[in-house]
Amino acid sequence: MTISHIDPEYQASAIEPNVQQDWEARKVFKVADTCEGKHRYILSMFPYPSGRLHMGHVRNYTIGDVISRFHRLKGETVLQPMGWDAFGLPAENAAIAHQVAPAKWTFENIAYMRDQLKKLGLSVDWDREFATCTPEYYHWEQWLFVQLYKKGLIYRKLSTVNWDPVDQTVLANEQVENGRGWRSGALVEKRDIPMYYFRITDYAQELLDDLDTLKEGWPQQVLTMQRNWIGRSQGMEITFPSANPELYADDLTVYTTRGDTLMGVTYVAVAAEHPMALQAAENNPTLKAFIEECRMGSVAEADLAVAEKKGMATGLFVKHPVTGEAVPVWIANYVLMSYGSGAVMAVPAHDERDFEFANKFGLNIKQVIDAKGADDAEFSSTQWQEWYGSKEGILVNSAEFDGLTFQAAFDALIAKLEPQQLANTKVQFRLRDWGVSRQRYWGCPIPMINCETCGQVPVPEEQLPVILPTDVVPDGSGNPLNKMPEFYQTSCPCCGADARRETDTLDTFVESSWYYARY
Ligand code: ANZ
Ligand code: ZN
């Protein structure tokens, strides 16, 4: 290629197409599977094929490309691949809006965006391009799922989702607008359905510890965010024995980080889904209606945190583990079923949420920590003050524990209650196991079979991949796979009886989690 005259201005449109054609013809960025000498693998996050590139893509892929070219100039063999993280909800939304199959929409977007990316002249080995929505890729995702399942690292349990009673479908949090379904406008309910979980909490401590091994270059805020996300919390479980065994036999266990405040407990609060709440509601229509009310609305933790405090007494009581006094059991909407044991010992004097709740419902407030070195005179039970929540103080109004510090009280309580099996130390993580089931069509089919006799059975490896049919146009009323017997009718790999294939698909973040290992 020759350029006949030297133009003082860089003419991208005159120069680049020629150069790029030449690169492509000579496959200059192609990398063999094995290579000698120094080599490097540089991977940028794959784009989602949303339709068109935006400047964020340009910036992102330029950074990876600069690094790749730098190392190539130093004589290293550099693999820079590109692909498409191609399952996900936008394709289904487009299907509903324009009556087009998600597969068709996705592959058209890929074709367009690939052209755009190529015009940027990235030093990518395009021969290795793939899309995560193809069976060639998700075959191995299903294989991985089966291995993890067999190792006990995937399990199934009920979990709560947003349910649209008109569209008869599960909604993602972003499809809930002001408590209503985005399409139907119906009031969203909560519903419990079985889902698969990755047991990531088994690795919580390891994840936390290994943050310390990340060296220079990691911004402190990022490390802090990660630590908070893992959220290690050290506290104790305390048991409140049932005071009405004829009505409710089980003892109530709570998780607390503030065992030192035990003598300040004036009520205990359970989540609306807690077995004790359900039991109390059995013959009590008012409670039942209240629990129903709590089931309405979003399941997002952020929404719950700012929601107005709601509560109702169950009529049940438990015994205070130290004094034996009867403590009322309330249902409160600020208690999460998914954290700790779904129950809290409420200490209104030292916990802001309990304080607000107690003031609203006229429950007792008893100061047991003196953080100011002053006496009760400074304590007002109608106006929350920052120092009420402090751990730095000494115990007051706490009988035998008076005068102790936080740590001394913690130790004294364990020494007293552990032999009676009423308390034990406990480490708790914020991190949840990862629920990966989605009641959606455009995703990787979960390779499981539901048999009435054998339960959940993984699809045998030689039958993988379970292929997702691609000629489907969802209409927004539930997962179309549920209406396709040709997809879900199968036989049990164990006993041969008629069985039903799982129609849920995997969260698209499962694809994103492992393509780094694809090369
Ligand atoms: C009594 C208490 C007194 C508490 C006090 C705090 C201050 P972290 O640090 O995030 O682990 N809690 C426990 N389980 C809960 C649930 N399922 N839903 C909502 N809140 C729950 O928080 C632990 C504290 O959060 C626990 O300590 C408990 O309230 C509350 F002055 O127990 B605490
Ligand atoms: Zn079977």
The confidence score (pLDDT) of residue 124 equals: 97
Kindly give, in sequence order, each residue whose CB lies less than 8 Å from that of residue 253, ignoring residues fewer than 6 positions away: 237, 238, 239, 240, 341, 343
- Going by the DSSP 8-state scheme, the letter that residue 469 receives in this structure is P
Near ion ligand 2, which residues have CB within 5 Å? 451, 453-454, 492, 494-495
For 434-463, write each residue's pLDDT tens digit: 999 998 999 999 999 999 999 999 999 999
Scan for tokens 């405040």, then name that residue. 261
131 Cα: distance to centroid of ligand 1 (angstroms): 44
The confidence score (pLDDT) of residue 299 equals: 64
CB 20 within 8 A of CB 68: no
- CATH class, range 233-429: alpha beta
Fold of 12-133: Rossmann fold (3.40.50)
The confidence score (pLDDT) of residue 31 equals: 94
CB of residue 256 inside a 6 A radius of ligand 1? yes
Among all bound ligands, the one having the nearest atom to the CA of 304 is: 1
For residue 469, cis peptide bond before it (omega within 30 degrees of 0): no
Among all bound ligands, the one having the nearest atom to the CA of 341 is: 1
The confidence score (pLDDT) of residue 3 equals: 55
CB of residue 262 inside a 6 A radius of ligand 1? no
CB of residue 367 inside a 6 A radius of ligand 1? no
- CATH class, range 139-199+434-518: mainly beta
Cα–Cα dist 291/296, whole Å: 9
**Which residues, given as ranges, of the chain have pLDDT below 70?**
1-6, 297-305, 374-377
Task: Sketch the domain layout of the chain as residue ranges.
Answer: 12-133, 139-199+434-518, 200-230, 233-429
497 Cα: distance to centroid of ligand 2 (angstroms): 6
Cα–Cα dist 414/143, whole Å: 46
- Going by the DSSP 8-state scheme, the letter that residue 445 receives in this structure is B
The confidence score (pLDDT) of residue 6 equals: 67
The confidence score (pLDDT) of residue 297 equals: 63
502 Cα: distance to centroid of ligand 2 (angstroms): 14
Kindly give, in sequence order, each residue whose CB lies less than 8 Å from that of residue 142, ignoring residues fewer than 6 positions away: 444, 445, 446, 447, 459, 464, 465, 466
CB of residue 365 inside a 6 A radius of ligand 1? no
Cα–Cα dist 154/199, whole Å: 6
CB of residue 336 inside a 6 A radius of ligand 1? yes
What are the two backbone dihedrals, phi and then psi, of residue 39, each rounded to the nearest 5 degrees?
A: -135, 160
The confidence score (pLDDT) of residue 338 equals: 82
The confidence score (pLDDT) of residue 308 equals: 87
- Going by the DSSP 8-state scheme, the letter that residue 255 receives in this structure is E
The confidence score (pLDDT) of residue 301 equals: 65
The confidence score (pLDDT) of residue 138 equals: 98
Please report, to the nearest 10 degrees, the dihedral formed by the alpha carbons of residues 107, 113, 119, 124 taken in order: -70
Closest CA to 425 of 257, 202, 265: 257
Cα–Cα dist 390/372, whole Å: 9
Among all bound ligands, the one having the nearest atom to the CA of 493 is: 2
- Going by the DSSP 8-state scheme, the letter that residue 296 receives in this structure is B
23 Cα distance to chain centroid: 43
Whole-angstrom CA distances from 41 to 36, 125, 129 are 14, 11, 15
Whole-angstrom CA distances from 125 to 22, 23, 32, 114, 382 are 14, 11, 10, 13, 67
Query: The tokens of 227 are what?
Result: 């630590």
Whole-angstrom CA distances from 29 to 35, 47, 484, 497 are 13, 20, 44, 52
The confidence score (pLDDT) of residue 4 equals: 57
Residue nearest to atom 27 of ligand 1 (CA): 256
